[in-house]
Amino acid sequence: MSHTISLDHRLPSILAELSTAGSGVRAEPDEAAVYDAITGAGRIFVLGAGRSGLALRMTAMRLMHLGLDVSVVGEVTAPAIRRGDLLLVASGSGRTAGILRAAENAEEAGARILAITTDPDSPLAGLADARILVPAPQKQDHSGVASEQYAGSLFEQTLVLLGDALFHELWQRSGAPAEELWTRHSNLE
Residues taking part in catalysis: 156
Number of helices and strands in the chain (H, E): 7, 6
- Burial of 158 per CB tally in 10 Å (0-12, 13-18, 19+): buried
Contact by Cβ (8 Å): 74, 99: no
Q: Going edge to edge, which strands form the sheet with 86-90? A: 26-28, 130-133, 112-117, 86-90, 44-48, 70-72
Query: In this structure, what is the dihedral angle of CA atoms 38, 40, 46, 51, given to the nearest 10 degrees?
Result: -10
Contact by Cβ (8 Å): 158, 18: yes
